[in-house]
A and B are shown apart, each in its own frame.
Chain A
Amino acid sequence: MAGKTIPIHSASAFEYLTTKKDELVGWARKFSLFPYPFVTACCAMEFMAVSSTPYDTDRFGAALPRFSPRQSDLLMVVGTLTHKQAPILRKVYEQMCEPKWVMAFGACATSGGFYQNYAAVAGIDKVIPVDIYVPGCPPRPETVIDGIMKLQDLIARSKHPLLTADF
């Protein structure tokens, strides 16, 4: 899960070992993201476009969508979240296992977009924690790829505890 970034200067051999381990695991995790496309609205069109030619998320390892929360690690909330849909999103997020990341794809997922009324939730971060926000209505595929790359940097910089809370 995303945690503190790794300090550059550290004296002990144990920390050298964990740093290297984190780099290796981070590298593996960032290039094998399994997205769960929680698709609701218009951003789905750009999601389909970014998954196919010529933009292709397969180059980043994030091609294979897994439509089960148990088998995926990147929850991409694509489109507007309404109050009716919010319990479903919360349930899907809770069913995903660690490590997991959340991408708010589009203006409506980021902040509610221009739907400021009784029906739409003003941003999915009111309901689940978000790691990366991709703005746009809908975002161009290049923006989405930029978002995925920034998320990959975040994963690479994070700590990845495997056995205990420290290692």
Chain B
Amino acid sequence: MSQVPAELRYLKSHEWARLENDGTITIGISDHAQQSLGDLVFVEAPEAGRRVRAGESCAVVESVKAASDVYSPVSGEVVAGNADLGGQPELINSDPYGAGWIMRIRPDDKTQFAAMMDAKAYEAALAAETH
């Protein structure tokens, strides 16, 4: 069973998001996503300064099995991409909600974050998917 921290928000496409004190949003992929992908071998995180729209693909995670896009849940400006993933993509496997974060975005508008699924809804979505 994968971990779904209660304090985070989620997308159906298995991204998680956390609202930071400074108003930025940290985004990564869920424990379920990293388990499904298997050992990650490469992560392409976005460059700081890039403008993204909600629903836009802005990172790529590649495992020994597959490559997948990571979608932004919010529109805004990328404040940082996680540079550590360049040399250590496995951080996403070992610590998907911590050191394995992918990008930090300053949202144009907080309502998009608020509209994301909470942990309970995401768990239900996972249960429906694995059913």
- A and B together in one complex: no
